[in-house]
C-alpha cells in the first residue's frame, strides 16, 4: 500500500523481555519519526531520522530504548528489558522532505502491552 506500515499491530511482552517494532515508511520519504502514545494522552516524540542519520533522540525515555534506520528506509524501535510503564501505542510517521513543516504521514501504530 501507499501508507506508512507498522508491524506487529499488537504485541504482548512479559516484563523483562526485549521487543522490536518495525516501521515501513512511504517510499522515498526522507524523514522518519517515532512517537509514544500512552492511554488517554497525546503522542510524545521519541526520535527522528533524516535518511539513515538519527538527528534527534532526545525523547527516548531511557537507555533501554534504541532505534535504527540503517539503510534510510525501514526503521526498528527496540525496547530492552521491557517494563510495565512501556505499555503504550508506538507510532511511526514519515515525511517527504527535510524542511520545517513538511507534512507527516502516520502509521496505525503498534500497541505494546507489558504484563
Cis bond leading into 8, ω under 30°?
A: yes
Using the rule CB under 8 A, give the single segment among 18-26, 32-40, 60-68, 71-79 that binds another protein: 32-40
Nearer to another protein, 75 or 109 (CB): 109
Q: Rounded CA gap, 63 and 51, in Å? A: 22
6, 108 Cβ separation under 8 angstroms: yes
Compute φ and ψ for 71, nearest 5 degrees.
-115, 15
Using the rule CB under 8 A, give the single segment among 12-20, 34-42, 66-74, 75-83 that binds another protein: 34-42
* Candidate list 13, 33, 52, 66; residue touching another protein; CB under 8 A: 33
When asked if residue 88 is in the footprint of another protein (CB under 8 A), the reply is no
* Candidate list 8, 18, 41, 85; residue touching another protein; CB under 8 A: 41
**Structure-block grid coordinates of residue 96:** 517527504
Amino acid at each position: 500500500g501507499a501508507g506508512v506500515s507498522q508491524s506487529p499491530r499488537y504485541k504482548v511482552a512479559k516484563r523483562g523481555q526485549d521487543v522490536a517494532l518495525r516501521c515501513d515508511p512511504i517510499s522515498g520519504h526522507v524523514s522518519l519519526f517515532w512517537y509514544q502514545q500512552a492511554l488517554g494522552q497525546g503522542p510524545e516524540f521519541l526520535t527522528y531520522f533524516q535518511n539513515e542519520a538519527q538527528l534527534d533522540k532526545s525523547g527516548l525515555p531511557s537507555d533501554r530504548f534504541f532505534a535504527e534506520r540503517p539503510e534510510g528506509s525501514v526503521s526498528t524501535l527496540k525496547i530492552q528489558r521491557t517494563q510495565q510503564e512501556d505499555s503504550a501505542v508506538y507510532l511511526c510517521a514519515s515525511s517527504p522532505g527535510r524542511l520545517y513543516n513538511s507534512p507527516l504521514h502516520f502509521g496505525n501504530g503498534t500497541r505494546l502491552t507489558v504484563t
